[in-house]
Amino acid sequence: MTIVNNNRASDFQFETFSDLVGAGEYGGGLSASLRRKFGNLPPELMILLMRILEDGQINGGPDGDDTKDIAKLKKEACISTSELHQINSAFQGFLSNWSTGHGSVEAYMSILGLDELQDETLKSQIAQMLMDGYVTSDEAMKLAELGVIDKADADAFAESANWVMADGNKPTSSLSREAKEYMFGIGITGQYSFGDTMLMLMLLMMQLFQKRIEDMSSAVAEAQLKADVSAAKYRALLANAPADRESDDYAAWSREKEALKMDMDHDDDEVQQLMAELKRVMDKYDTLEKMFQGILDQIGASERAMAQKMDS
Amino acid sequence: MIGQNLQKKLPEDLQGAVGQYMEQATDDSIDEVAVEIAQQATGFIDRVNETLQRYESSDGTERDEARAELFARLRDIRNFKANAQQVLAVMPDLKKRCATVLAKSDRKRKRPAA
């Protein structure tokens, strides 16, 4: 979803919530800011960021010790601990606004990335529209006509806006991870459906396995070739043993035979190790296949439970 | 790459994300993605249960909204299941490749007698 707004001034500053979730792509200013600063953060780093912030606390709290995740994020996304704290405190400020029920329309506008529009008349029109906490399709279309969002995104905008608003209005001081992800513009579960998210992850898994198997196969083939060469050399040497066992030639031949035997043992060990590794990859594959099947069963049970309710 | 046709079903951003992730993949990536898959599934099931409870305990507009949400999730599940079956269908092929490499290497391990 694209929020059309060319008036955003701030870069990567988190003094206020407005800075955090102000206008930007996908309705989430943080994502836009992060992307401006870090380029396109890959999904796994965004997920990592979410995992750290999930319980509203950095390094500790209900979701446990974040040290490992923070270290990885710092290393791979060049994000500093103080920046993480800034993100978190801005987020906390927003949560307290929700929980006290103050500034809902303002907060709602900032979630949707509309609070920094320069046109005050347009802003007040939109605020009026959002006053009842619900965006109808007609209202979303009106926003599109006003050039605030793309027409093609109107329905999606209304749907996700209402969902975040509903989540934010719950009598609790926390939002679901899904809503946070939407706000942060990550969209791994918020912007995209569960089906798309899971398809992406499962494809990733398959491709990772394929790559691993191909890499391992090449390594095994290479090691095997090396072992074959050693064995051929050894075989050739055995065929040319000097007749006189007391001669210097025989002594030299024996030394060479021992050296070649050691090479052959070493190369054989390498093949063995790689094959054992490949077997481990296969075992992991089996485990994951069972996990996928388990997930499908669980999802199937959820589907049946839902279908039952729908029918009743 | 495996699953190219399925990948085309994804929104463009996610197609890009798959490519980007593959470029940066490490030995830990398989485990990381497995954890994420499990978390996504658990999260989704929790949300379904939550919506079901909301549907049962509410009335009027709230119940209508919960019902609409359930329908949306049901569609999502059916979409997921159809795609997942196709992904799972490529698994035996990958396993076969793995087994072939292992069998070949086992066959070749004939050492000359000392």
Q: Which residues are CB-contacts of A244 (< 8 A; sequence separation ≥ 6)?
A: A250
- Token duo for residue B13: 């951003």
Put simply, whether B68 touches A (Cβ < 8 Å) is no
- pLDDT for A1 equals 24
pLDDT band at residue B40 under the 50/70/90 scheme: confident
Query: How confident is the model over A44-65, as a mean pLDDT?
Result: 61
Q: Do B52 and A307 touch (CB under 8 A)?
A: no
Lowest mean pLDDT among A56-65, A113-122, A125-134: A56-65
- pLDDT for A13 equals 31
Q: What are phi and psi of A149, to 5 degrees?
A: -130, 165
Residues of chain B neighbouring A239 (CB-CB closer than 8 A): none
Put simply, whether A269 touches B (Cβ < 8 Å) is no
- pLDDT for A188 equals 35
Query: In terms of Cα–Cα distance, which of A270, A8, A240 is closest to A116?
Result: A8
Q: Do B87 and A206 touch (CB under 8 A)?
A: yes
Query: How confident is the model over B69-85, as a mean pLDDT?
Result: 80
- pLDDT for A25 equals 31
pLDDT band at residue B43 under the 50/70/90 scheme: confident
ipTM of this predicted complex?
A: 0.88
Put simply, whether A241 touches B (Cβ < 8 Å) is no
Instruction: Report the mean per-residue pLDDT for chain B.
Output: 78
pLDDT over threshold 60, residue A38: no
Put simply, whether B102 touches A (Cβ < 8 Å) is yes
- pLDDT for A251 equals 94
Q: What's the predicted TM-score (pTM) here?
A: 0.52
Closest approach of B87 to chain A, Cα-based (Å): 7
pLDDT over threshold 50, residue A4: no
pLDDT band at residue A237 under the 50/70/90 scheme: very high
Please tell me the distance from the alpha carbon of residue B113 to that of residue A203, in angstroms, as a whole number: 47
Residues of chain B neighbouring A64 (CB-CB closer than 8 A): none
Put simply, whether B99 touches A (Cβ < 8 Å) is yes
Lowest mean pLDDT among A163-167, A188-192, B53-57: A188-192
pLDDT band at residue A110 under the 50/70/90 scheme: low
pLDDT over threshold 50, residue A165: yes
**Which position has the higher pLDDT, B104 or A241?**
A241
Nearest CA in chain B to A160: B69
